[in-house]
Every structure is written in structure tokens, then in C-alpha cells.
């Protein structure tokens, strides 16, 4: 019964519910929650269901990497602070599925709130991970959801910090120092691509494209299942043509260059985001230039999900409907 309730909600309904909860979600996970819903959209799960032949699906949508949410039920949300509460949130969701009858409320946002409250703890830190857990249940089904271990993989780097400390760190910008300004040295900033690792960062020159700085970092190791041409951010073309270098901007979106028409057009075609926001939370790293510190999240897959009919309309920003 509870699964049937969830399945009544489409992409637009979910996005509206999540947006309505953001004001009560702690700032540490406010943007991270929205990024997750772009990384694992319902349209991708629908495509997987429509084309069960994995080889055919990957060919049709040019999918590359770990795109199946069912294979990463416990790990898709490691970049959220709320990931540390996953065991109790998962348990609360499973308990909800075992309840007889329909939910007390038929409002999706209200159900997310009630489930988060039943998990115990600070609601502001549980709303985001609970919304993600419920969407995961809808996409992968109860059997796959229940069979995952329910374990967590928080890093010591994040465990040692409070939500306020993480938010504060994201807001800081590297100081150039009086000596640097006096000598006219070109400003350099820090791009962090995994807050859980102290070494997951590289330097970027002011107004340099992120993929260029990533390549110059010289780290050949990819943080995910996709291969990299150079540096930690996956990239193939550097002309906004392949969609490989898409990233979620966890913090510092205001320090990136505005989206140019070509980048906006291509992101719609890839199915990553459809928005008129000049500084959105999803970017193509090859087209975005940094003018300050930025914290990124690298998705585990890329492809051309936008070719599915109706996907672009489903991903239109709720505020513009």
C-alpha cells in the first residue's frame, strides 16, 4: 500500500515536495538534497524499467558509469551530512512500509516529514536523507531496498565536524594575501570535489575553466566508476558536447561564471537540469569558470537522458510552472 502511494507521484510532484521542505532542512544538506534528486532522477529509473536490456539501454542513452540506483542504495548519498543517519532512516522507512493501510496524509511532503520524525533526532538533519530514502524506495522497489545492508560510509573528515563547521568552511574563500595582491599575482582558489577526503582538492586560477584546472592537478585517479582523461573530474571533449563533466555545485555557485546559452542548451539535452537560473546547482565543468572557492560533487554516471520524450518538461523548475 505504501509503495503504491509513492508510485502515484511523478518527477514534478517529487521536486515540488522537496522544494517545500528546503526551508526546514538544515543548510548543510539543503543544496546536497537537491543535487541528489538531479543525480538520480525518476526518469532514469523509468528508462531502466522500459529497457531492461542493459546493453541496449546504455547504447540508446549513451550511459556511462554507475547509473543504477539499485546497486548503490546505501552509498548514493554519502555526500550528505545526513548520510550518517541512514541506518535509522532506512529502518523508519521499512517500518512505514509494514504499516497496514494508506498513509495518514496523502501529501507527499507531509509523509516525508512524518517519516523523518519517526526516525528520531534533529528533523532538520533528517528531512533531506529521508526524502532521498523514500525516492530510493520508489525507484528500486521494496525487495532491493530491504536487501541492502543499510550500512554507512561517512568519512572521518566529515564526522569530526559539526553541520555549522561544514557550512562555515564552504563559505570561506582563499585569502590571496597582501604580498600576492601587491605583486599582482593572479588569484588562485580551491576546488574541492569530495568533502570526505582531505586530499580531494585542486587549485584553480581566477576565471579558469574547472576541467582545465582539474587536468593540471595531475591526479589520474577518478573518484567514481568513470574514467578520466586527466584529473579527478571525468572529461572527454571540453566543448560541452559529451556531458561527461557534469557536476553538482554543493557550495560556491555564486563564484562561478554565468551559464552561457550553449551550456544551458546542452544540459537540457543531456537531461541534467532545465532552468533559467544563471548560476544553477548543476553545471558542465568544462564551461564553468571559477572566481573563488567551490565545493563540487561528481555524479557516478553521465549520458543523454534528455532524449527520452517528456523528460525536459518533467524537469522544469517547479517555480516556473
Residue in 60, 52, 74, 120 with CA at minimum distance from that of residue 306: 60
Residues 172 and 213 sit within 8 Å (Cβ to Cβ):
no
C-alpha grid cell, residue 210: 574547472
Q: Examine the domain organization and report whether 315 and 188 are in the same domain.
A: yes
**pLDDT for res 182:** 54
Gap between the Cα atoms of 236 and 246, Å rounded:
11
**pLDDT for res 123:** 96
Residues 113 and 21 sit within 8 Å (Cβ to Cβ):
yes
Q: Examine the domain organization and report whether 316 and 291 are in the same domain.
A: yes
Question: How many other C-beta atoms can be found within 10 angstroms of the C-beta atom of residue 169?
Answer: 14
Q: Examine the domain organization and report whether 179 and 79 are in the same domain.
A: no
Gap between the Cα atoms of 211 and 234, Å rounded:
8
**pLDDT for res 319:** 43
**Structural domain boundaries, residue 133:** 2-163
**What does DSSP say about strands 188-192 and 294-297: parallel, antiparallel, or unpaired?**
parallel
Q: Examine the domain organization and report whether 112 and 218 are in the same domain.
A: no
C-alpha grid cell, residue 173: 574563500
Count the helix, strand and coil residues of the chain and give each as a percent rounded to the nearest 5: 50, 10, 40
Domain boundary among 117, 133, 163: 163
**What does DSSP say about strands 289-290 and 282-284: parallel, antiparallel, or unpaired?**
unpaired
pLDDT values of the chain reduced to their tens digit, one per residue, 321 residues: 899 999 999 999 999 999 999 999 999 999 999 999 999 999 999 999 999 999 999 999 999 999 999 999 999 999 999 999 999 999 999 999 988 666 677 899 999 999 999 999 999 999 999 999 999 999 999 999 999 999 998 676 677 889 999 999 999 999 876 655 555 567 999 999 999 888 899 999 999 999 999 998 866 555 566 777 778 999 988 888 899 999 999 999 999 999 999 999 999 999 999 999 999 999 999 999 999 999 999 999 999 998 764 443 433 444 443
Q: Which helix (H) or strand (E) element contains residue 44?
A: helix 42-50
Q: Examine the domain organization and report whether 291 and 221 are in the same domain.
A: yes
C-alpha grid cell, residue 312: 525536459
Number of domains in the chain: 2
Query: Partners of 192 in the beta sheet?
Result: 201, 295
Give how far Cα 288 sits from Cα of 28, 129, 249, 259, 281, Å: 23, 28, 11, 7, 12
Domain boundary among 135, 163, 191: 163
**pLDDT for res 241:** 87
Q: Which distant-in-sequence residues (6+ apart) come within 8 Å of 309 by Cβ?
A: none
Q: Examine the domain organization and report whether 158 and 27 are in the same domain.
A: yes
Look up the pTM and report it.
0.92
Q: Examine the domain organization and report whether 146 and 215 are in the same domain.
A: no
Q: Examine the domain organization and report whether 182 and 201 are in the same domain.
A: yes
Give me the sign of the Cα torsion angle 160, 166, 170, 174.
negative
As a residue count, the chain comes to 321
Gap between the Cα atoms of 35 and 42, Å rounded:
13
Gap between the Cα atoms of 197 and 140, Å rounded:
29
Domain boundary among 128, 163, 198: 163
Amino acid at each position: 500500500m505504501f509503495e503504491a502511494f509513492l508510485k502515484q507521484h511523478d518527477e514534478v510532484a517529487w521536486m515540488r515536495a522537496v522544494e517545500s521542505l528546503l526551508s526546514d532542512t538544515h543548510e548543510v544538506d539543503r543544496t546536497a538534497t537537491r543535487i541528489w534528486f538531479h543525480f538520480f532522477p525518476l526518469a532514469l529509473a523509468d528508462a531502466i524499467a522500459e529497457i531492461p536490456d542493459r546493453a541496449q539501454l546504455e547504447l540508446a542513452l549513451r550511459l556511462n558509469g554507475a547509473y543504477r540506483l539499485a546497486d548503490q542504495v546505501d552509498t548514493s548519498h554519502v555526500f550528505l551530512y545526513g548520510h550518517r543517519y541512514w541506518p535509522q532512516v532506512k529502518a523508519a522507512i521499512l517500518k512505514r512500509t509494514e504499516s497496514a493501510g494508506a498513509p495518514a496524509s496523502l501529501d507527499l511532503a507531509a509523509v516525508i516529514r512524518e517519516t523523518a520524525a519517526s526516525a528520531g533526532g534533529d528533523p532538520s538533519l533528517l528531512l533531506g536523507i529521508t526524502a532521498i530514502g523514500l525516492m530510493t524506495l520508489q525507484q528500486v522497489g521494496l525487495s532491493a531496498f530491504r536487501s541492502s545492508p543499510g550500512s554507512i560510509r561517512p568519512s572521518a573528515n566529515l564526522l569530526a565536524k559539526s553541520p555549522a563547521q561544514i557550512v562555515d568552511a564552504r563559505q570561506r574563500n582563499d585569502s590571496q594575501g597582501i604580498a600576492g595582491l601587491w605583486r599582482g599575482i593572479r588569484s588562485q582558489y580551491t576546488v574541492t570535489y569530495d568533502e570526505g577526503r582531505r586530499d580531494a582538492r585542486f587549485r584553480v586560477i581566477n576565471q579558469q575553466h574547472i576541467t582545465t584546472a582539474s587536468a593540471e592537478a595531475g591526479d589520474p585517479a577518478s573518484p567514481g566508476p568513470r574514467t578520466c582523461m586527466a584529473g579527478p573530474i571525468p572529461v572527454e571533449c571540453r566543448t560541452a558536447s559529451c556531458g561527461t563533466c557534469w557536476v553538482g555545485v554543493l557550495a560556491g555557485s555564486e563564484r562561478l561564471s554565468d551559464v552561457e546559452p550553449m551550456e544551458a542548451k546542452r544540459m537540457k539535452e543531456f537531461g541534467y537540469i532545465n532552468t533559467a537560473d544563471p548560476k544553477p546547482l548543476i553545471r558542465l565543468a568544462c564551461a564553468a569558470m571559477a572566481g573563488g572557492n567551490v565545493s563540487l560533487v561528481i555524479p557516478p554516471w553521465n549520458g543523454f537522458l534528455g532524449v527520452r520524450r517528456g523528460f525536459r518538461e518533467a524537469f522544469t523548475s517547479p517555480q516556473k510552472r
